[in-house]
Amino acid sequence: MITIKSRREFAKMARAGAAVAATHAEIREAIRPGVSLLELDEMGAKVIAAHGCTPSFLGYLGYPANLCLSPNDVIVHGIPSDYRLEEGDILSVDAGAIFEGFHGDAAFTTGVGEISADAQRLIEVTEEAMWAGIREIRKGRRLGDIGAAVHAAGTEAGYGVVEEYVGHGIGREMHEEPQVPNYGTPGKGLRLKTGMALCIEPMFNLGGRHTRVDGDGWTVRTEDGSISAHWEHTVALTPDGPQVLTAADEPVPVEFEQARAQG
Ligand code: MF3
Ligand code: CO
């Protein structure tokens, strides 16, 4: 795994993260009954390019699109299709961007029009679990602290916590060591250090935790057909503490960071 070695590298990660956050904002606005997943994918490509970034998913191990769009029982890695969203659907939107060789990666889940109370609660609990994991990203904490916090939030709510897919280190590659599972034992595992950047990404199912993959080799679904939510942020442990790089309300202008680096 890489560690972020300088303010300059951190600023590049922040630029990639800002592009991802902007993509989320634009897609969130566009989500409504009738819009197709391919239309959303096209919008994502435009926003990423407008931020001077390239989409990290396109071509990754042969992945054929800019975004992962995962409706209803799709957990992750849904390939955008001509499917048009319908009232009552839920949709996970996962985006990745590269700025001058550095990556940002984040996902959110939202409802289309009016959704069931069960679906709404699943989305909210999954987001809260992500933040519970992010709160453990502090110097001296361990990977097991993150996983245990995420897992507890899911199981306490009665959800199936997906184990086959995990969070990850991020930096010069989208997926770097270490793996960051959504389960763990407090006080165990790799100790967190300044300079690390991690993606925290709980995937919770309304039903059981088991998964299956479609014939396309990508689309991951719940085995029991229940709906699933996925949230993710890229978080860097900087000399000033943890920074959520893919959150829209925490912009980090690269010019400011560069000026600060020069003293
Ligand atoms: N964003 C996903 C993750 O968090 C990766 C998607 S890879 C793709 O790990 F190829 F499917 F796009
Ligand atoms: Co990720």
Q: 32: which 2 tokens?
A: 């409504």
pLDDT reading at 139 higher than 80 = yes
pLDDT range class, residue 261, cuts 50, 70, 90: low
Which residues lie with the beta carbon below 6 Å from any ligand 1 atom? Answer: 57, 60-61, 63, 68, 77, 94, 96, 105, 199, 201, 232
Q: Which CATH number is 133's domain given?
A: 3.90.230.10
CA atoms within 13 A of residue 167's CA, in its CB half-sphere: 35
Query: Per residue in 83-118, pLDDT tens?
Result: 999 999 999 999 999 999 999 999 999 999 999 999
Helix (H), strand (E) counts: the chain: 5, 15
Model confidence pLDDT, tens digit, residues 46-74: 999 999 999 999 999 999 999 999 999 99
Range of the domain at 146: 7-261
Q: Which of 60, 103, 173, 216 to mutate to test the pocket of ligand 1 (most atoms within 8 A of CB)?
A: 60
% of the chain with per-residue pLDDT over 70? 94
Q: What is the pLDDT of residue 253?
A: 46
Q: What is the mean pLDDT of the chain?
A: 94
Short-list 47, 74, 78, 48, CA closest to 65? 78
| Amino acid at site 92 | S
User: CA-to-CA distance for 263 and 248, rounded, in angstroms?
Assistant: 26
- Does 193 fall in a domain? yes
Q: How far is ligand 1, taken at its centre, from the CA of residue 146, in Å?
A: 20
Which residue is closest in CA terms to ligand 1's atom 11? 77
Instruction: Determine the average pLDDT of the residues in 23-51.
Output: 98
Please choose, from the candidates 204, 213, 211, 167, the residue with its C-alpha nearest in 3D space to the C-alpha of residue 189: 167
Number of structural domains, the chain? 1
Say if 246 falls within a structural domain. Answer: yes
* 127 Cβ contact list (under 8 Å, min separation 6): 108, 109, 229, 231
Residue at 249 is within a domain:
yes
> Does 2 fall in a domain?
no
pLDDT for the residue 1 = 62
The rounded Å distance from CA 189 to ligand 1 centre is 24
* Ligand 1 atom closest to the CA of 94, numbered from 1: 1
CA 247 from centre of chain:
11
Task: Tell me which ligand sits closest to the C-alpha of residue 70.
Answer: 1
**263, pLDDT greater than 50:** no
CB-CB contact of 233 with 247 (8 Å): yes
Which amino acid is present at 126?
A: T
Distance 237 CA to ligand 1 centre (A): 22
User: Using one digit for the tens of pLDDT, what is the confidence trace for 224-255?
Assistant: 999 999 999 999 999 889 999 999 864 444 44
pLDDT single digits (tens) 181-220 = 999 999 999 999 999 999 999 999 999 999 999 999 999 9
Give the 3-state secondary structure of residue 62. Answer: helix
Counting ligands in written order, the one closest to the CA of 59 is 1
Look at the block and give the residue holding tokens 């939030």: 153
What residue type is 2 in one-letter code?
A: I
Mean pLDDT of 150-158: 98
Q: Is the dihedral of CA 74, 80, 83, 87 positive or negative?
A: positive
Mutate to test the pocket of ligand 1, among 48, 58, 105, 246 (most ligand atoms within 8 A of CB): 105
Of all ligands present, the nearest one to the C-alpha of 74 is 1
206 assigned to some structural domain:
yes
Assigned domain for 119 exists: yes
Q: What sections of the chain are H helices per DSSP?
A: 7-30, 37-50, 117-134, 143-156, 254-261
Q: Would you say residue 1 lies in a domain? A: no
The answer, yes or no, to whether residue 262 has pLDDT greater than 70, is no
- Give the tokens for residue 166: 């995990």
- State the pTM of this model: 0.94
State which of 23, 174, 179, 200 you would mutate to test the pocket of ligand 1, scoring each by most atoms of that ligand within 8 A of its C-beta.
174
pLDDT for res 249: 61
Within-domain flag for 235? yes
Which one-letter DSSP state was computed for residue 85?
P
pLDDT score for 6: 84
